[in-house]
Amino acid sequence: MATGRTTPQDGLPGHSRRNLLRGGALVALGAAVVPVTGCDLLDRGDDGPPPPDPLEPVAAEAAALEARYRAAITAAPDLAGRLTPIADAHRAHADELRRVIGRPAPSGSPTVAPATAGTDPAALLSALSGAEQQGRKNAARACAAAPADRAALLGSIAAARATHLEALK
């Protein structure tokens, strides 16, 4: 025996008008939800460039410090043996920071004039020491504010800059 409604024409089991209306309402509701949940499907990507990474200033400072050391080496070649390893360390720091950020370094190298006019080694070392001290403070500040996955890198950069200060004495 058939349960439910029967169609009036042939007496076979069928669907009630109420069930058809419910089904139609569900289809209409589904059609209304799809555009809301699929908003990102038609996103054109006009969001603009991503915001600057908090490591950008530290990376730029590392590159600038390297440039200052290279300029000092050019101004006083006798300091090359002492300053080249420090300049190389700053280059390595800048490269690693850029790798972590996921962005290439800005095109062109930063051009920084020697810290002082002339080639006086004592004046050059003093100017580099001041820049290195400020760089150490900035790296330590960035380390304190950084998430755990970046704090180790920033902490080692701050420590390296502290050792650079000792090498400049």
Predicted local distance difference test score (pLDDT) of residue 114: 44
Q: State yes or no: pLDDT of 139 exceeds 70.
A: yes
Predicted local distance difference test score (pLDDT) of residue 16: 72
What is the CA angle 154-95-168, rounded to 5? 65
Contacts by residues 145-148 (CB-CB < 8 Å, ≥ 24 positions apart): 145/54, 146/54, 146/55
The CATH class for the domain spanning 56-168 reads mainly alpha
Contact 112/81 with Cβ under 8 angstroms?
A: no
- What are the pLDDT digits (tens) for 3-27? 555 555 655 566 677 776 777 666 6
What is the reported pTM?
0.67
Mean pLDDT over residues 150-162, rounded? Answer: 95
- What are the pLDDT digits (tens) for 114-131? 444 468 999 999 999 999
Predicted local distance difference test score (pLDDT) of residue 83: 97
Predicted local distance difference test score (pLDDT) of residue 117: 42
Per domain, the residue ranges of the chain are 56-168
CA 53 to chain centre: 4
Predicted local distance difference test score (pLDDT) of residue 65: 97
- What are the pLDDT digits (tens) for 61-111? 999 999 999 999 999 999 999 999 999 999 999 999 999 999 876 665 555
